Structure 1
Amino acid sequence: MPFAVYLLGLAVFAQGTSEFMLSGLVPGIARDLHVSIPAAGLLTSAFAAGMVAGAPLMAVLTLRWPRRNTLLAFLLTFLLVHVIGAVTTSYDVLLATRVVAALANAGFLAVAMATAMGMVPANAKGRATSVLLGGVTMACVAGVPGGALLGEVWGWRSAFWAVAVALVPAVVAVLKSVPSTGGEKPVRASARAELRALRRPRLLVILGLGALVNGATFCTFTYLAPLLTGVTGLGSGWTPAMLALFGLGSFAGVTVSGRIADVRPVRLLVIGGAALPLGWVALALAAGSPVAAFVLVFVQGTVSFAVGSTLISQALYAATGAPTLGGASATAALNVGATAGPWLGGIAIGAGFGYRAPLWVSAALALLALVLGGVAAIAGRRSARRHDNSVETDQALGAQ
């Protein structure tokens, strides 16, 4: 694996810390800016919504730009809006900075995926994807709990400052180590041609499943801190540890996916897809027990990211002919889920169903993904069988 791919993972780590750290900062932001817990949770949805729109938009706008310059522009924009977010006293301004940061993050991730895919062999997309998503999971392991700890000791603004500082070495690393064309021969990319390549039914199904799985993950993850304090009965000081545990699970899931996704993706998706809804139901029922909560948070982090990472790599395999927009579409699909999940969880909490409610929403989304995946698989087999029978008939008629 080229070293530059790992440096891209470092930049993804810094940005992933920002995307996920609000899970540990929601109560503090709500108190400081005088908004409700669901309103503070919507900052995560705003970020995800920006990524939904930003991934394809930024990918198209920068399709012909030198990739190193594009990555640097996105990183510097991301850094600047975090400085603004750290000093603002307005919820509306903070919300706007999250959207702009998301646009920059979405553009960076789409271009980083295309850059990484251009540096590795054609049969190693799963491994390259796991390296990039390893940056996301390391954000859960170290960055997000670190942000929660900073928020606990010095307030939530200190976490925003920490992200801005962490981006500086990422900027230097990209400037020094990433080739301007991503390692492959320069091509005159066509947005129209790439868009045509995205219409394949298999790709659309994979993107839909990714949205549902990620929606289930973020629905619970966004409200994990109030769940721990309000249902499990743990003090707020335990939040960083629980977030780190979820991050360790997600890192384990991405690592497993990186080893399996290129060779046995279907088996992983079937087993993991069946385990996800069961795990969310188990966590909803056992959330009052600290021991059960610790175990299930780790397990769900592992399974969620193993399935999600595999779906991303499968989307990249299915998006041949769209090296840049394929990564952008995968990013957008995952963030459709990351937008809808916290929103649905917030609605359930606001309706008075309590902090267990997001867990039941997560279970429903994961179950829907399992059912739709099964239906798509059956339809795909029937279509392939009809095609084979048609070919055999044509051959038989041709032989007469």
Structure 2
Amino acid sequence: METTAAGRPPTCLLTTWGVTRLALLLFVFRVFLFPGPDVTSDVFVTYRGWYDVLSTGTFPAADVTWQYPPAAALAILSPGLLPFLDYASAFFVLAFLADLAVLMLLLNTGLRPGRSLRGAWMWVAGVPLLGPTVYSRYDVMVTAVAVAALVAGVRRPRVMGALTGLAVLLKVWPALLLAGAVRKRAWGAAAVTVGALAALFALAMPGAFAFLTFQRDRGTEVESLGALALHVARQFGWQGRVLLHYGSLEFLGPYVGVVSDVALGLTAVAFGWLLLWRLTAKRFAPQTLAEAAFTAVLLFTVTSRVISPQYLVWLIGLAAVCLCFRAGRMGLPAVLVLAASFVTVLEFPVFFADVVASSPLGLALLFLRNGLLVAAALTAAVRLWRSTAPRAATGASAAGRAARGSEPAVSP
């Protein structure tokens, strides 16, 4: 094993990872019960049901809860690789291995000259803060592919593009990994991978793109930023209800459509800002690729109509890659994401009944968690902009240095 700069293996880091992951496994295998509703039911019931349908060679196109791009079938079918285990047990083991893969990627990156183990620590500390939900959703598998793409991106843009293309067809959001990619090879490889895999799924399995309709029809989920307005409205007599709708608990009732439209408008604003940043950015350092991806995913997360707990897994993984770079500027947003992760496990699953009921405790937890995410998004956006914007005063400062007889200026 590689060692740290001091010549010692990162024993404390690996021990902490082992202890915390053992705790997660004990919870998902129900050796100990985690407070709140059972988060593993998605694996035992929903994923297992999809597995049975997908095993027949078709997508669950009639199931409105199937809202994922076609390569998600690979994650749902993956427990079949461990036929000696039952479906749920195999899924938990594979989620654990995906977690381990991310750690190895971050360790390999962090132990290089000029890099840092802060990223590995971010992952080690952040994942258990979310509780057993991490091993009960396939998002940790998607995050592993996304982290691999970003780690490869600095030196191997084609590899990054291919991995990003695969990740996009696993869960769409990794398309934002390309926000800071400056090499056409990354974009080209991503496009080719998406096109080839999409065509393959469309030809081989009916219903590959039915998820697009189901995603379009989703409403405002109770944990989202927009839902806060409806939670508050409830305190003043608003008669809306919370019901299971398109696979999650959403608000239904008057003005919900308006809130959803506002969320979509904010997403459009976030996209516009991201486009403006990309057109004006002039200075791209090695860490910019990861920092742009982290910022983009933060912006689109906070403006989404849905902020499920597993979304934080994405943010922890991307923040971890950012922290692998000593020269990176995402330390504060990463800390805010860690804090939001801890509050997230309190709002789901521990006190989720209070969130659904819009109780004072539920409202406080949602305001705090979503407030932390908004603060992280805005801070990351400002830092990304400042770190890549052209230095307007470069010429003046160079002239000043020349007049003082200092060393000549170097173009940034």
Q: Which TM-score bucket, shorter chain as reference? A: 0.3 to 0.5
- Higher relative contact order structure (alpha carbons within 8 Å, sequence separation ≥ 6): 1
- The alignment's TM-score, normalised by the length of structure 1, stands at 0.33
- The alignment's TM-score, normalised by the length of structure 2, stands at 0.32
Report which of the two has the higher share of helix. Answer: 1
